Structure 1
Amino acid sequence: MSQIEAKANPRRRSRGPRKPPRSNIPGANPWLEVPYITRKVPTYDILGEESLARIEATADRILAEIGMEFREDPETVELFRRAGGEVRQIGPEASNIRFEPGLIRQLCTTAPGRFRQAARNPARSVEIGGDAMVFAPAYGSPFILDSEGNRRYATLDDFQSLVKLGQSSPWLHHSGGTICEPTDIPVNKRHLDMVYSHIRFSDKPFLGSITAPERAADSIEMCRILFGADFVDRNCVIMGNFNTTSPLVLDGVTTRGIRTYAAAGQGSIHLPFLLGGAVTPVTMAGSCAQSLAESMVGVALTQLVRPGAPALLAAFLSSLDLRSGSPTFGTPEPALGSLVMGQLARRMNLPLRCSGNFSTSKLPDAQAMSQSMMSMMAAAQCGANYILHAAGFLDGLLSMSYEKFVMDCDLAGALHVYLRGLEVSDETLAFDALAEGGPGMHLFGTEHTLRHYETAYYDSALSDYTPWETWDDNGRNGAMARATARWQSTLEHYEPPHLDEAIDEALLAFIAQKKEAMPDAWH
């Protein structure tokens, strides 16, 4: 029996499909649980027309006068040549392509402004684009940080535990992708275990592998086993999260992966990972122009492969500590940049991925949450549609934290309330609540209060609202201790969603066949 079978078999009892479960722990606010957020709060437009036009013109100028470099993928180079790009060979397997102003933007117009990613539980399917907002866990960390600041390499057990925490949270709508790197599994095989873990331990949508084109193909093939080939051909069921090699480079592994997802009609996210002063200008306007240019090229490639394939414009804007060269996250300048990227995405009618619960703190402490709040509020205000890194991000993305994961989920729950906006009606104006007792009377027992007491306010699962004396008697637990207790209890009470046994067996057979066909590779 394989390692992943051993982990899966104890829970392979069959149960029928069910609706998304209601959480049975305090702070769940089940009346707020939705498959994705429909924002009722307006986006914040920070720049006027002239400034936005200048950023767009600079992005076009970057592509026309500097161009993008493409490495080790002649098919992608040929696609852009046929579309009108000016190709110049700069090495045996490298080309620089320049694009007339407006060409790349025009190629992006066939990408949908909004699309649905189907989940295996239809009640969990999400909308991406427009006024829809989707939260997903952090992505890509090789380490796990415990509550005392000790750091260790992540394992498959960690990966599956984090998938379970995401499945259990009513505030995360998406299972994410590489929540952490399971370093105990060979590099060339771990994508199979990760995709299977998302399928087996969650019924929310998820991301697939992007580290090699064949791994992208395996991810899509596993979805064909799960959903059926015809359904996958007609629907987006999986997405890939692709990074450019900034500044202004796309390598062949990335472009071939993008083409693999697009050819199958699946979604892709096109993200320049920009560190100010390192791979992008230190000034945020320049970073926004570069981010727009690089991301548009990725989106355009999907449309050359399959017009109408879902694609997201994306931005990961970050500052640096210019004294040491260390990346900084959760700072105000990138938050402002996220507001700008929201405006640019809306002008292109493309869904946007940006921002998240970012922090460079090494503990889920005050620094972590203040930085996260800065970054996450920017995502909420800019109108981002898909927010990766919404839970667990610590140590500048090098580490995942169980405590930070549940703290971030609690913040995400509060944002569910914030983004619902404020209703003004006879019921919410509550004249009768004041009139019932008159001047000087307490409102706690009025009929209006009793009608709304369960839904009036967000009930945090982690915050302590008790008097000092009660808090003292209960052991003076701080947020860290409460978060530890929360994630441990959640995993203890976790129940896996139903998965058809025949599908499960087919997936495991596919994984076994793939693993047996290649030797382990650890680099």
Structure 2
Amino acid sequence: VDACPNMDFHMSLGLTSDVPGPTYDRHQAAAMLRHTLKPLVLTAMSREGLADILEMYYLLRGGRDAFEINPGFVIYLEPTTPLLHSQAAVEKLLFSAERRIPAIYTPCPITGATAPATMASGLVLALAEFLAGMVIAQLKRRGAPLIMGGVCSLMDMSSTILSYGAPELSLLSAALTDIAHHLKIPMFSTAGCSDSKALDEQAAVEATFSVLASALSGANLIHDVGYLESAMVGSFDMVVLSDEVIGMAKRLVRGIEVSDETLAVDVIRAAGPGGNFLAEDHTYRHFKQEFWFPRLLDRTRFDAWAASGKPTLKARVKARVHDILATHQVAPLPSDVSKGIDKILAKADKNQR
């Protein structure tokens, strides 16, 4: 993700399993801190895990006051649909409010299973669960930063899976985004995922549809990019492909700037009928900002494509993934910060023995 230019934050594609179970959250946060410069969305098993992660960020930011000005991470929390708020979720929510950790509170109704089958009922449940969480957080500390979430989709009645590629997921996400913005609350949405089991045409179609829908809805944070098999599998290939799609979507929602400079009436008049604009200074001043340049999608002429071995999009995606894994480097954390994180991890592991 750090090497994907169109992704603005990093959230894990899975849960760490090669460390002591109760402390996986600390190890996962530490690994992410050490391998990206982008803001993080993190998870924690418990209040204690969240407290340790916060201590890592105090080290990184230079103390509590500096953290509250520029946190650098958001904690992801969930109620339990329908209409339950577990002790662990509430404890983490209260701690987040107390320490001004920005929190995402994300209901996950499954229409036809944990919610009635109608789309509107899924919205009712999601909104009720989020608003309950918001009240809890604000009662703890007025002004506690909170982001509205909502992963709402349907249970496929043939396979009983929660569909991550259904158009209803994007429809419900867009509706929740409208509600959140009406309430003047930022929205955490879902896109770039698929029910397909592999990086194939289905994955590309579903990822593109959801990315475009979420971008057009105006959601503020969009997550779950890179999931296949209904969020059971995280795919590096899907992450890289979706990054390309996100770039296209960002160009679309950026729109068209209209000004005397961009209308360029004087340039058109000077060139006249039958004129050519390739050599105009105006073209050189603007084309890099106006045009979107693909990294993976092919625009070469047929002869050039054939001469390069006729690579498919899938082949280009895999080559890009291999290149990132082989060459991408992130500047190391300051030595004192890294050692401090190691001490936090060691203490947490020791306490679990």
Q: Same fold (TM over 0.5)?
A: yes
| Paired residues of 1:471 and 1:477 also in contact (CA < 8 A) | yes
Residue 323 (structure 1) aligns with: 158
Mapped partners of 1:273, 1:333: distance in 2: 13
Residues 274-423 of structure 1: matches in 2 within 5 Å? 274-389=109-224, 391-423=225-257
List runs of 5+ in structure 2 lacking aligned partners.
none
User: What's the RMSD between the two structures over aligned residues?
Assistant: 1.9
Q: Tell me which protein shows more strand as a share of its residues.
A: 1
Q: CA 1:459/1:234 → structure 2, altered by over 3 Å: closer, same or farther?
A: closer
Work out which of the residue numbers 39, 44, 47 in structure 2 matches 1:213: 47
Percent of aligned pairs with the same residue? 27
Q: CA 1:235/1:474 → structure 2, altered by over 3 Å: closer, same or farther?
A: closer
Residue 282 (structure 2) aligns with: 448
Residue 201 (structure 1) aligns with: 35
3-state SS, counterpart of residue 188 of structure 1: helix
Mapped partners of 2:283, 2:69: distance in 1: 49
Residue 506 (structure 1) aligns with: 340
Residues 32-47 of structure 1: matches in 2 within 5 Å? none
Residue 67 (structure 2) aligns with: 232
Mapped partners of 1:412, 1:286: distance in 2: 30
3-state SS, counterpart of residue 269 of structure 1: strand
Once the two structures are overlaid, the 10-residue window that deviates more, 202-211 or 397-406, is: 202-211
User: When the two structures are superposed, what TM-score results if normalisation uses the length of structure 1?
Assistant: 0.64
| Paired residues of 1:273 and 1:317 also in contact (CA < 8 A) | yes
Residue 148 (structure 1) aligns with: none
| Paired residues of 2:13 and 2:227 also in contact (CA < 8 A) | no
> In the TM superposition, what is the alpha-carbon distance from 1:378 to its structure 2 partner?
2.3
| Paired residues of 1:329 and 1:358 also in contact (CA < 8 A) | yes
| Paired residues of 2:193 and 2:206 also in contact (CA < 8 A) | yes
Q: Tell me which protein shows more helix as a share of its residues.
A: 2
Q: CA 1:224/1:451 → structure 2, altered by over 3 Å: closer, same or farther?
A: closer
1:153-183, Cα deviation, whole Å (9 max, x unpaired) = xxxxxxxxxxxxx22222111122x332222
Q: Which amino acid aligns with 1:403?
A: D
3-state SS, counterpart of residue 289 of structure 2: coil
Once the two structures are overlaid, the 10-residue window that deviates more, 509-518 or 265-274, is: 509-518
| Paired residues of 1:234 and 1:265 also in contact (CA < 8 A) | no
Once the two structures are overlaid, the 10-residue window that deviates more, 435-444 or 510-519, is: 435-444
Mapped partners of 1:314, 1:209: distance in 2: 14
Counterpart check, 1:171 vs 2:6 = yes
Mapped partners of 2:270, 2:165: distance in 1: 47
Q: Which amino acid aligns with 2:330?
A: P
Q: Which amino acid aligns with 2:234?
A: M
> In the TM superposition, what is the alpha-carbon distance from 1:484 to its structure 2 partner?
1.0
3-state SS, counterpart of residue 241 of structure 1: strand
- Paired residues in the alignment total 352
3-state SS, counterpart of residue 207 of structure 1: strand
| Paired residues of 2:164 and 2:193 also in contact (CA < 8 A) | yes
Q: Which amino acid aligns with 1:220?
A: L
> In the TM superposition, what is the alpha-carbon distance from 1:353 to its structure 2 partner?
0.9
| Paired residues of 2:43 and 2:77 also in contact (CA < 8 A) | no
Work out which of the residue numbers 342, 349, 352 in structure 2 matches 1:515: 349
Residue 180 (structure 1) aligns with: 14
Q: Which amino acid aligns with 2:46?
A: A
> In the TM superposition, what is the alpha-carbon distance from 1:441 to its structure 2 partner?
4.2
| Paired residues of 1:220 and 1:238 also in contact (CA < 8 A) | no
Mapped partners of 2:148, 2:309: distance in 1: 48
User: When the two structures are superposed, what TM-score results if normalisation uses the length of structure 2?
Assistant: 0.93
Mapped partners of 2:330, 2:345: distance in 1: 20
List runs of 5+ in structure 1 lacking aligned partners.
1-165
